[in-house]
Amino acid sequence: MNVLGKQYPTFCPMGPCIVTKDELQDPGNVDLATIVNGEVMQSANTRDLIHGLGQTLSYFSRWFRFQPGDVVSTGTPAGIGFARKPPRFLRPGDVVEVRSGQIGSLRNVVAAR
């Protein structure tokens, strides 16, 4: 459960909406897709997580007292760019969209540092 490597500034965009537990029937069964420039790069479901949501929350609750509004990073589905043949990395101007039918969409344009 590598958390620190995913928490640099601009690395974890969120919004425009986040659902509360009463709005999401089963967080352990949420379809997710990552689309880059119109091409589906990742497609998965939260039931496929190596560490299930309950296990992840239990693990982190050893050190953190969760408060309303807290966000927990769960990891990434298969299909990451550097594991592709040939490797594929994001470039300035790429449009990245993360979609979930149960939650909504988040669309960002990659910018150079």
What residue spans define the domains of the chain?
A: 4-109
Please check whether residue 72 is in contact with residue 60, taking contact to mean a CB–CB distance below 8 angstroms. Answer: yes
According to the model, what pLDDT value does residue 90 have?
92
pLDDT (tens digit per residue) in 3-43: 566 667 777 777 777 787 788 889 889 999 999 999 999 99
User: How far is it, in rounded angstroms, from Cα 70 to Cα 3?
Assistant: 14
Q: In this structure, which topology does domain 4-109 adopt according to CATH?
A: Fumarylacetoacetate hydrolase; domain 2 (3.90.850)
User: How far is it, in rounded angstroms, from Cα 45 to Cα 23?
Assistant: 17
The model's pTM is 0.81
Tell me whether strands 104-109 and 39-45 are parallel, antiparallel or unpaired: unpaired
